[in-house]
Amino acid sequence: MQTILINQLKSKIFKKKFGISLPKKVKIPHPATPQRPTVAQIKERFQILKGKVFAYPKTKNKGGPGQFLEQQLGIPNSSACLDCSDGELKLFPLRKLKNGSLSPKETVAITMRGLQAQEIHSPKPWEASDLKKKTHNMLFISYLRNGDNITYLSAFSFGASCPEYSVFKSDYIKITEYYKTHGICQLANDDPLYHSNTINGKYIQGRTKGGGKKIGSGARTVAFYFRKTEFIKDVILHDITQSTHQSSSHQDS
């Protein structure tokens, strides 16, 4: 609650005019923070949006389709660590190949809070990492863009109970150990001493962000991404396809 102190002079004037003494302090309650839905709740809500076409022209904001979807699902827009009360929503774009099949279009960002410059040589243990916090319970939703329209296609739950999840820890250790040993290269790509800042685990990739034109300023930090082929295609998209086929078989029988 916000506390406001009443000016003594104003209090005296108010008492003289109305014969009422004002309190010395007034507490004004903050507006209630919108409650975040659970991952299970947004998965249920998504069924209404699944397969529908939405007009959403391309913009420079790559996160636009995700923000639009969050709005439709009732997820408050804020800087909170997690989208939901108990996990994350991960939206990923697909592209249609010449043979008609669908394929992931790009890597999927997990967290921009991967490794800051000051913690490179002393990274958090896996159990305390933002990577673990962000990935323990997720709902992956795919979408396809066709010109100015987007269609949200399928949803698939993934988290700590899945067999592939155990790989995340070893990927995290591999990536953080590399940066711990080599640091984050802040040099321009054409510098003779430059070395790559992109490190691949089996499913997770660590790569730098930030810096822009200020090469050498120490502004680059590390973000984590899901690898496009090894995880999004071979695990998530594969499992979505299997689930769809199984669902269709049950309906046919």
Residue range 37-57: mean pLDDT, rounded: 95
- Alpha-carbon distances of 105 from 51, 224, 232, 246, rounded to whole Å: 19, 17, 10, 25
Q: Give yes or no for residue 5 having a pLDDT over 60.
A: no
Smallest Cα–Cα separation from 190: which of 227, 215, 167, 212? 215
Could you give the residue range(s) of every CATH 3.40.600.10 domain in the chain? 32-252
| Residue 205: per-residue pLDDT | 97
Tens digit of pLDDT for each residue in 143-185?
999 999 999 999 999 999 999 999 999 999 999 999 999 888 8
Tokens of residue 116, six digits: 């800051």
Beta bridge partners of 206: 199, 224
Q: Give yes or no for residue 236 having a pLDDT over 90.
A: yes
- CATH number assigned to the domain with residue range 32-252, chosen from the 4 options 3.30.70.980, 1.10.287.3240, 3.40.600.10, 2.40.50.140: 3.40.600.10
- Alpha-carbon distances of 67 from 42, 127, 202, rounded to whole Å: 14, 29, 29
pTM, full prediction? 0.80
